[in-house]
Amino acid sequence: MNNGKLAAVILAAGRGTRMKSEHSKILHPLCGAPMGCYPVRAARDLGCEPILMVVGHDSENVQQAFAAEKVGFAPQSPQLGTGHALLCAEEALNGFSGTLLLLCADVPLLTPATLARFLEFHRTRQAAVTVLTMQQDDPRGYGRILRDGEEIHRIVEEKDAGDQEKTISEVNTGIYLFESPLIFRLLHGIGNDNAQREYYLTDTVRAAREAREKVCAMTLADAREAIGINDRVQLAQAEAILRRRINETHMTQGVTFVDPDAAYVEAPVEIGADTVIHPGAHLQGKTVLGRNCVIEPGVVIRDSRIADGVHIKAHSVVQESEIGPHCQIGPMAHLRHGTILRGDNKIGNFVETKKADIGLRTAASHLTYLGDSEIGADVNIGCGTITCNYDGVRKYKTIIEDQVFVGSDTQLVAPVRIGRNSLIGAGSTIVRDVPADALALSRAEQKNIEGWRLRERKKKSDK
Protein backbone atom coordinates (compact mmCIF):
# COMPACT_ATOMS: atom_id res chain seq x y z
CA MET A 1 0.00 0.00 0.00
CA ASN A 2 2.85 2.32 0.88
CA ASN A 3 5.30 3.48 -1.79
CA GLY A 4 7.03 6.03 0.49
CA LYS A 5 5.81 9.02 -1.51
CA LEU A 6 4.56 11.99 0.46
CA ALA A 7 2.59 15.07 -0.59
CA ALA A 8 0.90 17.82 1.42
CA VAL A 9 -2.28 19.82 1.10
CA ILE A 10 -2.62 22.90 3.29
CA LEU A 11 -6.12 24.29 3.78
CA ALA A 12 -6.10 28.07 3.60
CA ALA A 13 -9.34 29.13 1.95
CA GLY A 14 -11.34 30.04 5.06
CA ARG A 15 -12.36 33.58 5.78
CA GLY A 16 -11.10 33.96 9.34
CA THR A 17 -14.00 36.24 10.27
CA ARG A 18 -12.99 36.52 13.91
CA MET A 19 -9.67 38.19 13.06
CA LYS A 20 -11.76 41.23 12.00
CA SER A 21 -9.23 41.90 9.27
CA GLU A 22 -9.26 42.86 5.61
CA HIS A 23 -6.57 40.26 4.98
CA SER A 24 -6.57 36.50 5.06
CA LYS A 25 -5.71 35.42 8.57
CA ILE A 26 -2.86 33.26 7.36
CA LEU A 27 -1.00 36.40 6.27
CA HIS A 28 -0.90 37.76 9.83
CA PRO A 29 2.67 37.53 11.06
CA LEU A 30 3.88 35.24 13.79
CA CYS A 31 7.44 36.01 14.97
CA GLY A 32 8.06 37.87 11.72
CA ALA A 33 6.71 35.42 9.12
CA PRO A 34 3.11 35.01 7.91
CA MET A 35 1.53 32.26 10.03
CA GLY A 36 0.85 30.20 6.91
CA CYS A 37 4.62 29.85 6.34
CA TYR A 38 5.02 27.58 9.35
CA PRO A 39 2.90 24.66 8.07
CA VAL A 40 4.44 25.07 4.61
CA ARG A 41 7.95 24.76 6.06
CA ALA A 42 6.94 21.88 8.33
CA ALA A 43 5.60 20.00 5.28
CA ARG A 44 8.80 20.71 3.39
CA ASP A 45 10.98 19.56 6.31
CA LEU A 46 9.06 16.30 6.34
CA GLY A 47 9.87 15.82 2.66
CA CYS A 48 6.44 16.50 1.11
CA GLU A 49 6.45 17.10 -2.64
CA PRO A 50 4.32 18.61 -4.01
CA ILE A 51 2.90 21.01 -1.41
CA LEU A 52 -0.45 22.50 -2.41
CA MET A 53 -2.36 25.30 -0.75
CA VAL A 54 -6.11 25.48 -1.12
CA VAL A 55 -6.87 29.19 -1.41
CA GLY A 56 -10.11 31.15 -1.50
CA HIS A 57 -10.54 34.23 0.63
CA ASP A 58 -8.01 36.99 -0.28
CA SER A 59 -6.39 34.48 -2.62
CA GLU A 60 -4.46 36.99 -4.73
CA ASN A 61 -2.57 38.31 -1.73
CA VAL A 62 -2.06 34.81 -0.35
CA GLN A 63 -0.59 33.57 -3.63
CA GLN A 64 1.66 36.59 -3.83
CA ALA A 65 2.87 36.13 -0.25
CA PHE A 66 3.68 32.45 -0.82
CA ALA A 67 5.07 32.75 -4.35
CA ALA A 68 8.63 32.29 -3.07
CA GLU A 69 7.77 29.20 -1.02
CA LYS A 70 7.54 26.86 -4.02
CA VAL A 71 4.00 25.71 -3.37
CA GLY A 72 1.18 25.03 -5.81
CA PHE A 73 -2.23 26.64 -5.44
CA ALA A 74 -5.67 25.13 -5.80
CA PRO A 75 -8.60 27.56 -5.80
CA GLN A 76 -11.72 26.84 -3.74
CA SER A 77 -14.70 29.06 -4.52
CA PRO A 78 -17.22 29.05 -2.98
CA GLN A 79 -15.99 27.46 0.28
CA LEU A 80 -18.27 24.53 0.98
CA GLY A 81 -16.36 22.93 3.87
CA THR A 82 -13.11 21.14 4.64
CA GLY A 83 -14.00 18.04 2.60
CA HIS A 84 -14.81 20.17 -0.42
CA ALA A 85 -11.52 22.04 0.14
CA LEU A 86 -9.46 18.87 -0.19
CA LEU A 87 -11.43 17.84 -3.28
CA CYS A 88 -10.40 21.13 -4.87
CA ALA A 89 -6.76 19.95 -4.71
CA GLU A 90 -7.48 16.66 -6.48
CA GLU A 91 -6.82 17.95 -9.98
CA ALA A 92 -3.53 19.63 -9.03
CA LEU A 93 -2.36 16.39 -7.36
CA ASN A 94 -2.66 14.79 -10.76
CA GLY A 95 -3.38 11.22 -9.64
CA PHE A 96 -0.78 11.32 -6.85
CA SER A 97 -0.31 7.91 -5.32
CA GLY A 98 1.17 7.77 -1.82
CA THR A 99 0.58 9.37 1.58
CA LEU A 100 -1.07 12.77 1.78
CA LEU A 101 -0.44 15.04 4.79
CA LEU A 102 -3.29 17.44 5.41
CA LEU A 103 -2.44 20.57 7.38
CA CYS A 104 -4.33 23.77 8.14
CA ALA A 105 -2.60 27.06 7.43
CA ASP A 106 -3.96 28.49 10.69
CA VAL A 107 -2.37 25.75 12.85
CA PRO A 108 1.25 26.92 12.85
CA LEU A 109 2.96 25.38 15.88
CA LEU A 110 3.31 21.69 14.97
CA THR A 111 6.97 20.72 15.23
CA PRO A 112 8.86 18.68 12.62
CA ALA A 113 9.47 16.03 15.31
CA THR A 114 5.75 15.61 15.98
CA LEU A 115 4.94 15.35 12.27
CA ALA A 116 7.69 12.76 11.80
CA ARG A 117 6.24 10.71 14.66
CA PHE A 118 2.76 11.07 13.16
CA LEU A 119 3.97 9.78 9.80
CA GLU A 120 5.77 6.86 11.43
CA PHE A 121 2.61 6.04 13.42
CA HIS A 122 0.49 6.04 10.24
CA ARG A 123 2.91 3.94 8.23
CA THR A 124 3.66 1.28 10.83
CA ARG A 125 -0.08 0.69 11.27
CA GLN A 126 -0.69 0.69 7.54
CA ALA A 127 -3.73 2.89 8.10
CA ALA A 128 -5.75 4.43 5.29
CA VAL A 129 -6.52 7.46 7.45
CA THR A 130 -4.79 8.64 10.63
CA VAL A 131 -6.22 11.58 12.56
CA LEU A 132 -4.07 13.72 14.87
CA THR A 133 -6.05 14.29 18.06
CA MET A 134 -5.62 16.04 21.39
CA GLN A 135 -7.17 16.12 24.83
CA GLN A 136 -9.06 19.30 25.71
CA ASP A 137 -10.49 20.15 29.14
CA ASP A 138 -12.91 22.36 27.29
CA PRO A 139 -13.64 20.56 24.00
CA ARG A 140 -16.25 23.05 22.79
CA GLY A 141 -16.08 23.89 19.09
CA TYR A 142 -14.03 20.85 18.13
CA GLY A 143 -14.99 17.61 16.43
CA ARG A 144 -15.18 14.79 19.00
CA ILE A 145 -13.36 11.49 18.45
CA LEU A 146 -15.39 8.28 18.77
CA ARG A 147 -12.74 5.69 19.60
CA ASP A 148 -12.51 2.00 19.29
CA GLY A 149 -9.10 1.24 20.85
CA GLU A 150 -6.32 2.46 18.60
CA GLU A 151 -8.82 2.86 15.78
CA ILE A 152 -11.67 5.34 15.52
CA HIS A 153 -14.96 4.96 13.81
CA ARG A 154 -16.32 8.47 13.61
CA ILE A 155 -15.71 12.15 14.25
CA VAL A 156 -18.75 14.12 15.25
CA GLU A 157 -18.81 17.91 14.91
CA GLU A 158 -19.92 20.05 17.85
CA LYS A 159 -23.04 21.20 16.03
CA ASP A 160 -24.07 17.63 15.22
CA ALA A 161 -23.13 16.07 18.57
CA GLY A 162 -25.54 14.65 21.11
CA ASP A 163 -25.21 15.48 24.82
CA GLN A 164 -23.28 12.29 25.54
CA GLU A 165 -20.86 12.89 22.64
CA LYS A 166 -20.29 16.48 23.76
CA THR A 167 -18.63 15.21 26.96
CA ILE A 168 -15.83 13.49 25.00
CA SER A 169 -12.58 15.34 25.68
CA GLU A 170 -10.51 13.84 22.85
CA VAL A 171 -10.89 16.13 19.83
CA ASN A 172 -9.83 16.44 16.21
CA THR A 173 -6.89 18.80 15.56
CA GLY A 174 -7.87 19.01 11.87
CA ILE A 175 -4.54 17.40 10.85
CA TYR A 176 -4.56 14.04 9.03
CA LEU A 177 -2.60 11.55 6.98
CA PHE A 178 -4.50 9.94 4.11
CA GLU A 179 -3.62 7.29 1.58
CA SER A 180 -4.14 8.70 -1.90
CA PRO A 181 -5.93 8.22 -4.28
CA LEU A 182 -8.19 6.27 -1.85
CA ILE A 183 -9.10 9.46 0.03
CA PHE A 184 -10.55 11.04 -3.13
CA ARG A 185 -12.73 8.02 -3.82
CA LEU A 186 -14.10 8.39 -0.29
CA LEU A 187 -14.56 12.15 -0.60
CA HIS A 188 -16.60 11.85 -3.79
CA GLY A 189 -19.11 9.74 -1.88
CA ILE A 190 -19.67 12.24 0.95
CA GLY A 191 -22.74 14.44 1.25
CA ASN A 192 -23.51 17.59 3.19
CA ASP A 193 -26.43 16.33 5.23
CA ASN A 194 -25.40 17.99 8.50
CA ALA A 195 -26.12 21.02 10.66
CA GLN A 196 -23.81 23.31 8.64
CA ARG A 197 -24.69 22.01 5.13
CA GLU A 198 -20.97 21.58 4.53
CA TYR A 199 -18.88 18.80 3.04
CA TYR A 200 -16.98 17.61 6.11
CA LEU A 201 -13.50 16.15 5.75
CA THR A 202 -14.22 14.39 9.05
CA ASP A 203 -16.87 12.26 7.33
CA THR A 204 -14.11 10.41 5.47
CA VAL A 205 -13.48 8.58 8.76
CA ARG A 206 -16.88 6.91 8.67
CA ALA A 207 -16.63 6.38 4.91
CA ALA A 208 -13.26 4.65 5.29
CA ARG A 209 -14.62 2.38 7.99
CA GLU A 210 -17.57 1.48 5.79
CA ALA A 211 -15.09 0.59 3.05
CA ARG A 212 -13.33 -1.66 5.63
CA GLU A 213 -10.21 0.51 5.68
CA LYS A 214 -8.17 1.08 8.81
CA VAL A 215 -8.60 4.46 10.53
CA CYS A 216 -6.25 5.29 13.43
CA ALA A 217 -5.75 8.26 15.71
CA MET A 218 -2.59 9.52 17.35
CA THR A 219 -2.94 11.80 20.38
CA LEU A 220 -0.63 14.80 20.68
CA ALA A 221 1.51 14.79 23.81
CA ASP A 222 1.41 18.59 23.98
CA ALA A 223 -1.92 20.03 22.85
CA ARG A 224 -0.42 23.52 22.50
CA GLU A 225 1.19 22.38 19.24
CA ALA A 226 -2.24 22.21 17.63
CA ILE A 227 -3.45 25.66 18.64
CA GLY A 228 -5.60 26.96 15.81
CA ILE A 229 -5.63 30.69 15.32
CA ASN A 230 -9.08 32.15 14.92
CA ASP A 231 -8.70 35.54 16.58
CA ARG A 232 -6.02 37.94 17.72
CA VAL A 233 -6.01 36.64 21.28
CA GLN A 234 -4.97 33.22 19.97
CA LEU A 235 -2.50 34.93 17.64
CA ALA A 236 -0.78 36.51 20.65
CA GLN A 237 -0.84 33.19 22.56
CA ALA A 238 0.76 31.38 19.63
CA GLU A 239 3.34 34.13 19.27
CA ALA A 240 4.27 33.79 22.96
CA ILE A 241 4.73 30.02 22.60
CA LEU A 242 6.78 30.36 19.44
CA ARG A 243 8.88 33.17 20.91
CA ARG A 244 9.65 31.01 23.92
CA ARG A 245 10.56 28.07 21.66
CA ILE A 246 12.93 30.20 19.56
CA ASN A 247 14.58 31.76 22.60
CA GLU A 248 14.96 28.42 24.38
CA THR A 249 16.76 27.03 21.34
CA HIS A 250 19.23 29.91 21.60
CA MET A 251 19.57 29.45 25.37
CA THR A 252 20.51 25.79 24.92
CA GLN A 253 23.22 27.02 22.53
CA GLY A 254 24.73 29.38 25.08
CA VAL A 255 22.88 32.66 24.64
CA THR A 256 21.71 34.51 27.78
CA PHE A 257 18.26 36.10 27.77
CA VAL A 258 17.66 38.40 30.73
CA ASP A 259 13.91 37.85 30.19
CA PRO A 260 13.14 35.28 27.48
CA ASP A 261 9.49 36.31 27.28
CA ALA A 262 10.43 39.88 26.43
CA ALA A 263 12.99 39.48 23.65
CA TYR A 264 11.64 39.29 20.12
CA VAL A 265 13.85 37.10 17.95
CA GLU A 266 12.62 36.00 14.54
CA ALA A 267 13.11 32.38 13.53
CA PRO A 268 15.96 32.78 10.99
CA VAL A 269 18.20 34.88 13.31
CA GLU A 270 21.54 33.35 14.40
CA ILE A 271 23.22 34.26 17.70
CA GLY A 272 26.68 33.26 18.97
CA ALA A 273 27.39 31.85 22.43
CA ASP A 274 27.91 34.10 25.46
CA THR A 275 25.91 36.89 23.88
CA VAL A 276 23.49 38.59 26.28
CA ILE A 277 20.10 39.79 25.08
CA HIS A 278 18.25 42.29 27.27
CA PRO A 279 14.48 42.81 27.38
CA GLY A 280 12.81 44.67 24.57
CA ALA A 281 15.41 43.71 21.97
CA HIS A 282 14.08 42.95 18.48
CA LEU A 283 16.31 40.79 16.27
CA GLN A 284 14.75 40.51 12.84
CA GLY A 285 15.14 39.12 9.35
CA LYS A 286 18.46 37.62 8.29
CA THR A 287 20.37 39.01 11.25
CA VAL A 288 23.49 37.12 12.39
CA LEU A 289 25.01 38.00 15.76
CA GLY A 290 28.47 36.92 16.86
CA ARG A 291 29.73 35.65 20.20
CA ASN A 292 30.16 37.75 23.35
CA CYS A 293 27.90 40.56 22.24
CA VAL A 294 25.66 42.61 24.50
CA ILE A 295 22.34 43.80 23.11
CA GLU A 296 20.81 46.29 25.52
CA PRO A 297 17.11 47.09 26.07
CA GLY A 298 15.07 48.41 23.17
CA VAL A 299 17.62 47.68 20.45
CA VAL A 300 16.19 46.87 17.00
CA ILE A 301 18.43 45.00 14.54
CA ARG A 302 17.19 44.00 11.09
CA ASP A 303 19.01 42.12 8.30
CA SER A 304 22.47 42.87 9.70
CA ARG A 305 25.69 40.99 10.46
CA ILE A 306 27.22 41.72 13.84
CA ALA A 307 30.70 40.34 14.60
CA ASP A 308 32.00 39.12 17.98
CA GLY A 309 32.28 41.31 21.06
CA VAL A 310 29.98 44.07 19.84
CA HIS A 311 28.12 46.12 22.46
CA ILE A 312 24.93 47.78 21.22
CA LYS A 313 23.55 50.12 23.84
CA ALA A 314 19.93 50.93 24.61
CA HIS A 315 17.47 52.02 21.94
CA SER A 316 19.80 51.85 18.97
CA VAL A 317 18.45 50.84 15.55
CA VAL A 318 20.65 48.89 13.11
CA GLN A 319 19.38 47.98 9.64
CA GLU A 320 21.06 46.28 6.67
CA SER A 321 24.48 46.98 8.15
CA GLU A 322 27.70 45.12 8.83
CA ILE A 323 29.32 45.64 12.20
CA GLY A 324 32.91 44.48 12.72
CA PRO A 325 34.35 43.09 15.96
CA HIS A 326 34.42 44.98 19.26
CA CYS A 327 32.38 47.97 18.17
CA GLN A 328 30.50 50.09 20.72
CA ILE A 329 27.25 51.49 19.42
CA GLY A 330 24.71 53.83 20.99
CA PRO A 331 22.82 54.50 23.11
CA MET A 332 20.32 55.81 20.58
CA ALA A 333 22.43 55.42 17.46
CA HIS A 334 20.82 54.83 14.05
CA LEU A 335 22.81 52.70 11.62
CA ARG A 336 20.95 52.59 8.33
CA HIS A 337 21.37 50.50 5.18
CA GLY A 338 24.85 50.14 3.78
CA THR A 339 26.70 51.01 6.97
CA ILE A 340 29.97 49.08 7.35
CA LEU A 341 31.98 49.36 10.55
CA ARG A 342 35.35 47.66 10.04
CA GLY A 343 35.99 47.02 13.74
CA ASP A 344 36.79 48.64 17.11
CA ASN A 345 34.59 51.58 16.19
CA LYS A 346 32.70 53.80 18.56
CA ILE A 347 29.43 55.19 17.28
CA GLY A 348 27.82 57.17 20.06
CA ASN A 349 24.49 58.74 20.89
CA PHE A 350 22.44 60.44 18.20
CA VAL A 351 24.79 59.41 15.42
CA GLU A 352 23.14 58.41 12.15
CA THR A 353 25.01 56.59 9.40
CA LYS A 354 23.90 55.50 5.91
CA LYS A 355 26.00 53.97 3.10
CA ALA A 356 29.06 54.74 5.18
CA ASP A 357 32.14 52.54 5.12
CA ILE A 358 34.02 53.35 8.31
CA GLY A 359 37.60 52.16 8.91
CA LEU A 360 39.18 50.48 11.94
CA ARG A 361 39.10 52.34 15.27
CA THR A 362 37.37 55.39 13.78
CA ALA A 363 35.01 57.07 16.24
CA ALA A 364 31.98 59.33 15.94
CA SER A 365 30.89 59.70 19.52
CA HIS A 366 28.04 62.21 19.46
CA LEU A 367 25.40 63.98 17.36
CA THR A 368 26.56 63.31 13.83
CA TYR A 369 25.30 62.39 10.36
CA LEU A 370 27.58 60.34 8.12
CA GLY A 371 25.95 59.49 4.79
CA ASP A 372 27.40 58.32 1.46
CA SER A 373 30.86 58.32 2.99
CA GLU A 374 34.13 56.46 2.86
CA ILE A 375 36.07 57.02 6.04
CA GLY A 376 39.52 55.60 6.75
CA ALA A 377 41.08 54.19 9.90
CA ASP A 378 41.83 56.09 13.15
CA VAL A 379 39.67 59.04 12.21
CA ASN A 380 38.04 61.14 14.90
CA ILE A 381 34.72 62.65 13.91
CA GLY A 382 33.89 65.51 16.30
CA CYS A 383 30.52 66.15 17.87
CA GLY A 384 28.00 67.67 15.49
CA THR A 385 29.72 66.72 12.22
CA ILE A 386 27.42 66.59 9.20
CA THR A 387 28.13 65.22 5.76
CA CYS A 388 25.99 67.41 3.49
CA ASN A 389 25.41 64.72 0.88
CA TYR A 390 22.26 65.97 -0.83
CA ASP A 391 21.67 69.10 -2.89
CA GLY A 392 17.96 68.45 -3.34
CA VAL A 393 18.52 66.54 -6.58
CA ARG A 394 21.48 64.20 -6.24
CA LYS A 395 23.55 62.52 -3.55
CA TYR A 396 27.33 63.03 -3.37
CA LYS A 397 30.19 61.29 -1.63
CA THR A 398 32.43 62.38 1.22
CA ILE A 399 35.86 60.74 1.46
CA ILE A 400 37.90 61.07 4.64
CA GLU A 401 41.33 59.42 4.64
CA ASP A 402 43.15 57.76 7.55
CA GLN A 403 44.03 59.65 10.76
CA VAL A 404 42.00 62.75 9.98
CA PHE A 405 40.73 64.78 12.93
CA VAL A 406 37.41 66.47 12.22
CA GLY A 407 36.71 69.22 14.76
CA SER A 408 33.25 69.58 16.28
CA ASP A 409 30.40 71.25 14.41
CA THR A 410 31.88 70.71 10.97
CA GLN A 411 29.89 70.53 7.77
CA LEU A 412 31.45 68.58 4.91
CA VAL A 413 29.74 69.69 1.71
CA ALA A 414 30.01 66.74 -0.71
CA PRO A 415 31.54 65.86 -3.06
CA VAL A 416 34.65 66.44 -0.99
CA ARG A 417 37.85 64.61 -0.03
CA ILE A 418 39.78 65.17 3.19
CA GLY A 419 43.43 64.11 2.81
CA ARG A 420 45.25 61.80 5.20
CA ASN A 421 46.30 63.09 8.63
CA SER A 422 44.77 66.54 8.12
CA LEU A 423 42.87 68.48 10.79
CA ILE A 424 39.67 70.43 10.38
CA GLY A 425 39.12 73.24 12.85
CA ALA A 426 35.89 73.19 14.85
CA GLY A 427 32.97 75.03 13.32
CA SER A 428 34.20 74.78 9.72
CA THR A 429 32.13 74.46 6.57
CA ILE A 430 34.32 72.52 4.16
CA VAL A 431 33.38 72.96 0.50
CA ARG A 432 36.71 72.11 -1.18
CA ASP A 433 39.12 69.17 -0.92
CA VAL A 434 41.72 69.32 1.87
CA PRO A 435 45.24 68.04 1.11
CA ALA A 436 47.08 65.56 3.36
CA ASP A 437 48.66 66.83 6.61
CA ALA A 438 46.94 70.25 6.33
CA LEU A 439 44.91 72.34 8.75
CA ALA A 440 41.60 73.48 7.23
CA LEU A 441 39.65 76.31 8.86
CA SER A 442 36.69 78.06 7.31
CA ARG A 443 35.00 80.14 9.93
CA ALA A 444 34.90 83.93 10.27
CA GLU A 445 37.55 85.25 12.56
CA GLN A 446 36.35 86.13 16.04
CA LYS A 447 35.91 89.81 16.95
CA ASN A 448 35.89 90.91 20.63
CA ILE A 449 34.43 94.39 21.31
CA GLU A 450 35.61 95.31 24.76
CA GLY A 451 33.24 96.94 27.26
CA TRP A 452 30.20 96.50 24.93
CA ARG A 453 27.88 95.03 27.59
CA LEU A 454 28.56 97.80 30.08
CA ARG A 455 27.87 100.53 27.47
CA GLU A 456 24.62 98.85 26.37
CA ARG A 457 23.34 98.56 29.95
CA LYS A 458 24.11 102.23 30.61
CA LYS A 459 22.21 103.29 27.45
CA LYS A 460 19.10 101.41 28.69
CA SER A 461 19.19 102.84 32.23
CA ASP A 462 19.59 106.42 30.85
CA LYS A 463 16.26 106.15 29.01
- Within residues 108-137, the interface with ligand UD1 by CB under 6 A covers none
Query: Which one of 101-109, 285-293, 368-376, 377-385 is the stretch in contact with ligand UD1 (CB under 6 A)?
Result: 101-109
Query: Which one of 122-130, 142-150, 220-228, 449-457 is the stretch in contact with Ca ion (CB under 5 A)?
Result: 220-228
- Within residues 381-400, the interface with ligand UD1 by CB under 6 A covers none
What does the per-residue mask of binding to ligand UD1 show for 338-357, with x meaning CB under 6 A? Answer: --------------------
Query: Which one of 80-88, 324-332, 348-356, 402-410 is the stretch in contact with ligand UD1 (CB under 6 A)?
Result: 80-88
The set of residues, in sequence order, having a beta carbon less than 8 Å from that of 361 and lying 6+ positions away, is: 343, 344, 345, 377, 378
**Given CA atoms 20, 24, 26, 28 in this order, what sign does their dihedral have?**
negative
The option from Ca ion, ligand UD1, none interacting with 82 (CB < 5 to 8 A, set by class) reads ligand UD1
Residue 386 C-beta: closest distance to ligand UD1, Å: 53
- Closer CB to ligand UD1, 56 or 325, in the complex: 56
What are phi and psi for residue 407, nearest 5 degrees? -70, 160
State how far the Cα of 364 lies from the Cα of 343, in Å rounded to an integer.
13
Please tell me whether residue 156 binds ligand UD1 under the rule CB under 6 A: no
State how far the Cα of 247 lies from the Cα of 260, in Å rounded to an integer.
6
The option from Ca ion, ligand UD1, none interacting with 207 (CB < 5 to 8 A, set by class) reads none
The option from Ca ion, ligand UD1, none interacting with 387 (CB < 5 to 8 A, set by class) reads none
By DSSP bridging, strand 151-156 and strand 144-148 are antiparallel
- Closer CB to ligand UD1, 104 or 430, in the complex: 104
Please tell me whether residue 39 binds ligand UD1 under the rule CB under 6 A: no
- Closer CB to ligand UD1, 228 or 297, in the complex: 228
The option from ligand UD1, Ca ion, none interacting with 84 (CB < 5 to 8 A, set by class) reads ligand UD1
State how far the Cα of 105 lies from the Cα of 34, in Å rounded to an integer.
10
The option from ligand UD1, Ca ion, none interacting with 283 (CB < 5 to 8 A, set by class) reads none
- Bridge partners, residue 412, by sequence: 387, 430
State how far the Cα of 321 lies from the Cα of 304, in Å rounded to an integer.
5
Please tell me whether residue 76 binds ligand UD1 under the rule CB under 6 A: yes
Please tell me whether residue 54 binds ligand UD1 under the rule CB under 6 A: yes
Residue 81 C-beta: closest distance to Ca ion, Å: 12
Residue 285 C-beta: closest distance to ligand UD1, Å: 27
- Within residues 206-245, the interface with ligand UD1 by CB under 6 A covers 228
- 84 flagged as catalytic: no
CB environment 211-249: b (16+ within 10 A), e (fewer): eebbbbbbebeeeebbbbbbeeebbeebbebbbeebbee
Q: Residue 223 in contact with residue 134, Cβ under 8 Å?
A: yes
> Which residues does the annotation mark as catalytic?
366
Residues that bind ligand UD1 (CB under 6 A): 11-14, 54, 76, 79-82, 84-85, 104-106, 142-143, 155, 157, 171-174, 200-202, 228
